[in-house]
Structure 1
Amino acid sequence: MEYDTLVNIAAAIALVGLMAYALLGGADFGGGVWDLFATGSRRNVQRQAIARAMGPVWEANHVWLIFVIVVLFTCFPRGYAPLATAMFIPFHLALVGIMLRGAAFVFRGYLSRPVGRSAGEPPGFWELSFGISSVISPLLLGAAFGAVTAGGIQVTADGTVLTTWPPAWLRPYSLGCGVLALSTCAYLAAVYLTVETEGELREDFRLRAIIAGTATAGLALVVLVLAWRQAPWFFEQLTRPRAWPVLVAGLFFFAASAWAVFSRRYKLSRVFAAAEVVCLLTGWGLAQHPYFCYPDLTLMGSAGPQATIKFLLGALPVGGVVLVPSLWLLFHIFKATSRPVSG
């Protein structure tokens, strides 16, 4: 197999892993957002439903983030090193947030009183830690994502990363991408939770899905305008024939998901919401190709030795034989047989 084909396959595999993390880990982040903003007389039951939905699988979802990182630094070491250097602050803050939210999620189950707390009582320390960390991590990851697409990571011929002020991830377009990522996570979580609840509690999460969906649609338009102004190369790539049909499909699935939420077809809405995220990330990957980080790092220029890529691509099916059935069994045990939570 040709070297460039191997490189493109490795990049596609990393993108698939990113999709899995967005669909599963992103919904976990969104659950933390709604935990932070739980309101009304059913706020405690809302938190209970979120904890029950996340409890068995929240830690397993971050396997996909580890998977993406391993593929990137193994197959694209000359791109991963500048990326990790330029995005050192947002990446590390996001990882600290992931660790803090995990610790808070566990400790509050033993030390806090989320169910026994009265409706008017403010959230405790662990609820706040869990919720705030769930907001910060996807926001920073999305901002880093925006910096990559906007040409904010510039590298000299000898591999030196050029720094600017403000850093690329703090520019309006990048921050817009971060807020869009956060709202998408919140939308996914609300849609997923409508399937795992019933009665008045389901109506609570339906309302949250409508709010988050409306915010996501508005933010997407804002980010497109910012891309036109601050990331013209990426905006131009989005409008080319290889990318825009996929993005139009994502827009269709978003509209279909919103329609399904309004018409209370919740399982259908979950499918459409997931398809929307897959289409958006596919469109991004097609627009970004052939760059690892525009404008100085292409996929070919960032790739490692051919033997290393071949070895990893050969090892992935072996790991998949263990990982995929294990994850399916985990979800089947804790999800397929669980009953919806009622308010």
Structure 2
Amino acid sequence: MLLIVIFYLWVAILFYVLFAGADFGAGIIELVTSKKNSSKTQRTMYKAIGPIWEANHMWLIITIVILFVGFPKIYSVMSVHLHIPLTIMLFGIIARGTAFTFRHYDAVQDEMQPIYTRIFELSSFITPLFLGIIAGSTVSGHIDPNAKTFADAYIFTWLNWFSIAIGFFTVAICGFLAAIYLIGETVSHQEKLRFIRKAKLMNIAAVASGAFVFIAAYADNIPLFTWIFGNVVGISALTLATISLMFLWYFLYKGKTIILRILAGFQVVMILGATTYRHFPNIVLLRNGSYLSLLEHSGHERTINALAWALLIGSVFILPALFYLIYSFQVETKAKLKSD
């Protein structure tokens, strides 16, 4: 049962990166779009993600619930020592959703609309930035359970080169996923070409920020190179990600929407697999050399059993409804785009 809970935790994190990441990335794409094309991007982005963006946070809620119920010690360490980036991330989610809603549904169109747009764009950047910072901090070895000062306990746990590098890498990945997704949500050939160019630029940014992650890891004495290249799984995952990247660039020129989305998702899976396999099941690496493990620091067996059954039964009802929701709104979105 514990392995079932861990599986759902990993899937929830993966789906949040893929689906919510594409939502965040839509705001990032809008942020780097010229004023001339801004209204077109907003219209396409709104019709593509507008009806379902709220549902994507379900994966974050599932992740938090699994950690809180099934792994209370891990949850408490992360929520205490990383409470500052967690709070900033949550404020980003709230600000983004509020600005998105007021921008499109406000009864009065006035001078506040540009302010809503700017809040939406900046929070779309800040939220994945701190999501990546939190992820990097858990394995950076900077969390010190015996810290004596406020800065050591709550600032330098996340304010370090490696965590920041992971944050910018996450931003680039979100922008890349959004551009790939939006390619298939346009009917105009000119618009499709514009999002293809955005996807290329974001892919280059992801590769560059990925290189920065390795440099930052070396500067912070984090054995990232060993984690990835010190085992067959890591090498294989990175090799497959590189090969799929070449195919992705080829299909970008062809404009094959479904294949592009599959390849982009596959790359994210390979990256997560390559970086987490070596230290799994240790989800939090601490400064004193110890760790918090999903296998060793889980909750009571009865709690884990109940949580596993809840996840299994809940997924039977929730997942089909969720994917049908996504499918139905995709059909409606394409019909609206064609009518425009």
Pair in the same fold by TM > 0.5:
yes
Other structure's SS at 1:304 match: coil
- In the alignment, the residues of structure 1 paired with residue 32 and residue 266 of structure 2 have an alpha-carbon distance, to the nearest angstrom, of 26
- In the alignment, the residues of structure 1 paired with residue 108 and residue 274 of structure 2 have an alpha-carbon distance, to the nearest angstrom, of 44
- In the alignment, the residues of structure 2 paired with residue 314 and residue 161 of structure 1 have an alpha-carbon distance, to the nearest angstrom, of 40
Counterpart position of 1:3:
none
Question: Structure 2: which amino acid aligns with 1:15?
Answer: W
Other structure's SS at 2:33 match: coil
- In the alignment, the residues of structure 2 paired with residue 336 and residue 125 of structure 1 have an alpha-carbon distance, to the nearest angstrom, of 31
Residue deviations 1:152-196 (CA, integer Å, cap 9, x gap): 22335xxx9993585132111110100000000000000110110
In the TM superposition, 1:220-231 aligns within 5 A as 220-231=210-221
Counterpart position of 1:42:
37
- In the alignment, the residues of structure 1 paired with residue 112 and residue 173 of structure 2 have an alpha-carbon distance, to the nearest angstrom, of 26
- In the alignment, the residues of structure 1 paired with residue 78 and residue 132 of structure 2 have an alpha-carbon distance, to the nearest angstrom, of 14
**1:285 aligns with one of 272, 276, 283:** 276
- In the alignment, the residues of structure 2 paired with residue 226 and residue 8 of structure 1 have an alpha-carbon distance, to the nearest angstrom, of 33
- In the alignment, the residues of structure 2 paired with residue 233 and residue 161 of structure 1 have an alpha-carbon distance, to the nearest angstrom, of 27
Question: Structure 2: which amino acid aligns with 1:304?
Answer: G
**1:261 aligns with one of 248, 252, 256:** 252
- In the alignment, the residues of structure 2 paired with residue 111 and residue 228 of structure 1 have an alpha-carbon distance, to the nearest angstrom, of 49
Aligned Cα root-mean-square deviation (Å):
2.6
CA drift of 1:113 comes to 8.8
1:251 matches 2:242: yes
In the TM superposition, 1:98-177 aligns within 5 A as 98-111=93-106, 124-156=114-146, 163-164=152-153, 167-177=156-166
Residue deviations 1:295-339 (CA, integer Å, cap 9, x gap): 422223321111111111111111111211111221121103432
Residue deviations 1:1-50 (CA, integer Å, cap 9, x gap): xxxxx444422321111111111000000001122233153321111000
- In the alignment, the residues of structure 1 paired with residue 100 and residue 86 of structure 2 have an alpha-carbon distance, to the nearest angstrom, of 21
- In the alignment, the residues of structure 2 paired with residue 87 and residue 265 of structure 1 have an alpha-carbon distance, to the nearest angstrom, of 41
In the TM superposition, 1:88-103 aligns within 5 A as 88-103=83-98
- In the alignment, the residues of structure 2 paired with residue 287 and residue 122 of structure 1 have an alpha-carbon distance, to the nearest angstrom, of 49
- In the alignment, the residues of structure 2 paired with residue 112 and residue 196 of structure 1 have an alpha-carbon distance, to the nearest angstrom, of 27
- In the alignment, the residues of structure 2 paired with residue 106 and residue 209 of structure 1 have an alpha-carbon distance, to the nearest angstrom, of 26
Counterpart position of 1:214:
204
1:314 matches 2:309: yes
Aligned length: 331
**2:69 aligns with one of 45, 66, 74:** 74
- In the alignment, the residues of structure 2 paired with residue 145 and residue 90 of structure 1 have an alpha-carbon distance, to the nearest angstrom, of 10
Segments of 5+ residues of structure 1 without an aligned counterpart are: 1-5
- In the alignment, the residues of structure 2 paired with residue 112 and residue 201 of structure 1 have an alpha-carbon distance, to the nearest angstrom, of 29
Other structure's SS at 1:292 match: strand
Indicate the percent of aligned positions where both proteins have the same amino acid.
28
Counterpart position of 1:270:
261
- In the alignment, the residues of structure 1 paired with residue 134 and residue 50 of structure 2 have an alpha-carbon distance, to the nearest angstrom, of 28
Other structure's SS at 1:300 match: coil
Other structure's SS at 1:329 match: helix
Residue deviations 1:220-250 (CA, integer Å, cap 9, x gap): 1121222233243343222222322123222
In the TM superposition, 1:169-208 aligns within 5 A as 169-197=158-186, 198-208=188-198
TM-score w.r.t. the length of structure 2 is 0.90
Segments of 5+ residues of structure 2 without an aligned counterpart are: none
- In the alignment, the residues of structure 1 paired with residue 224 and residue 46 of structure 2 have an alpha-carbon distance, to the nearest angstrom, of 39
- In the alignment, the residues of structure 2 paired with residue 328 and residue 125 of structure 1 have an alpha-carbon distance, to the nearest angstrom, of 33
Other structure's SS at 1:152 match: coil
- In the alignment, the residues of structure 1 paired with residue 58 and residue 216 of structure 2 have an alpha-carbon distance, to the nearest angstrom, of 32
Residue deviations 1:233-276 (CA, integer Å, cap 9, x gap): 34322222232212322222233222221333233211100111
TM-score w.r.t. the length of structure 1 is 0.89
Asked if the contact 2:48–2:185 (Cα under 8 Å) also holds between the matched residues in 1, the reply is: yes
- In the alignment, the residues of structure 2 paired with residue 226 and residue 123 of structure 1 have an alpha-carbon distance, to the nearest angstrom, of 39
Question: Structure 2: which amino acid aligns with 1:276?
Answer: Q
Asked if the contact 1:15–1:285 (Cα under 8 Å) also holds between the matched residues in 2, the reply is: no
